[in-house]
């Protein structure tokens, strides 16, 4: 299976007590357009084929006490300008911008209103990134429209969803053998796989990255597909994959989906957005 076969885009579900405040942060401060609103959940677009779903924690699949064991990296060509802008906006930083000569990547880590880690990152020309750079260089950036606090010159061209594992070989087998993805970057303690045109997954050795291991994680990794049946057949045929339900289900009348659990308990949701009015803007972005 090719890395992008039947995967149109990446998505991650983040969970909030204050959904209104979270929406305001992502749409106004970060300039990400709102592309679907289901009331209890709202989808924003970070990059051309990368999305975040902001969910009322009282109505999602997770509990508020779970650890935010995830980092979304926003890959950008305007790294320095993002840092100047976000610090001027008073966005709290977990890790400040401190570029190093000859580094394979530079970045900083901001905190969203609920404390999720948001890494703004640039991958540099470096031996470690030889397979990744041609892919990133070919990607267009998504820039904010007018009418937001975020300047229109601050773009995002891709996302990396960093996930934290005790057993890295087992995590990589999940990505390679179960999902059929191909390794692009090996940082030793972390690796990077492409899963959609602008979406990447990065397993990280827990404790060596930004997060320690957590048994319960306040995130759902979502892969948006035009063939949810093929993915369900692929995963349900395996003895080493546990599914939440033994069939494809319908969320309202809008999304056909199923959920699988990876070896360390991350929720992976495979979604197909139906042709409904509320999905019209979302579907226009993922064709």
Domain residue spans in the chain? Answer: 9-285
Which pLDDT does position 69 carry in this prediction?
98
Which pLDDT does position 4 carry in this prediction?
44
**Cross-strand bridge partners of residue 108:** 120
Which pLDDT does position 44 carry in this prediction?
99
pTM strictly above 0.85: yes
Which pLDDT does position 147 carry in this prediction?
85
Taking 70 as the pLDDT cut, the residues of the chain under it are 1-5, 287
Instruction: Spell out the residues 6+ positions from residue 283 whose beta carbon is closer than 8 angstroms to its own.
Output: 273, 275
Handedness of CA 211, 121, 199, 223 (dihedral sign): positive
Which pLDDT does position 195 carry in this prediction?
96
- Distance between first and last Cα of the chain: 20
Which pLDDT does position 2 carry in this prediction?
42
Which pLDDT does position 135 carry in this prediction?
98
The phi-psi region of residue 186 (left if phi > 0; otherwise alpha if psi is between -120 and 50; otherwise beta) is beta
What is the architecture of the domain spanning 9-285?
A: Roll (3.10)
The 10 Å Cβ neighbour count of residue 102 is 6
């Amino acid at each position: 299976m090719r890395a992008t076969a039947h995967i149109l885009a990446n998505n991650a579900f983040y969970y909030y007590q204050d959904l209104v405040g979270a929406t305001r942060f992502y749409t106004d401060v970060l300039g990400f357009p709102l592309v679907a609103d289901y009331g209890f959940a709202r989808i924003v677009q970070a990059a051309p084929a990368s999305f975040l779903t902001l969910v009322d924690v009282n109505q999602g699949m997770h509990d508020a006490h779970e650890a935010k064991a995830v980092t979304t990296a926003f890959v950008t060509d305007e790294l320095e300008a993002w840092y100047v802008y976000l610090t001027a906006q008073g966005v709290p930083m977990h890790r400040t911008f401190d570029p190093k000569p000859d580094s394979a990547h530079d970045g900083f880590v901001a905190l969203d209103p609920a404390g999720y880690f948001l890494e703004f990152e640039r991958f540099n020309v470096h031996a470690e990134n030889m397979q990744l750079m041609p892919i990133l260089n070919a990607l267009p950036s998504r820039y904010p429209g007018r009418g937001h606090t975020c300047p229109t010159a601050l773009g995002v061209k891709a996302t990396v969803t960093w996930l934290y594992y005790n057993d890295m070989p087992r995590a990589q087998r999940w990505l390679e053998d179960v999902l059929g993805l191909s390794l692009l970057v090996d940082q030793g303690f972390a690796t990077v796989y492409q899963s959609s045109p602008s979406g990447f997954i990065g397993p990280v050795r827990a404790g060596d990255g930004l997060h320690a291991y957590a048994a319960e994680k306040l995130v759902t990794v979502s892969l948006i597909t035009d063939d949810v049946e093929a993915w369900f057949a692929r995963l349900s045929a395996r003895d080493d994959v546990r599914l939440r339900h033994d069939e494809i289900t319908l969320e309202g009348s809008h999304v056909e989906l199923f959920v699988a659990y990876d070896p360390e308990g991350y929720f992976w949701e495979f979604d197909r957005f139906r042709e409904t009015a509320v999905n019209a803007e979302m579907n226009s972005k993922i064709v």
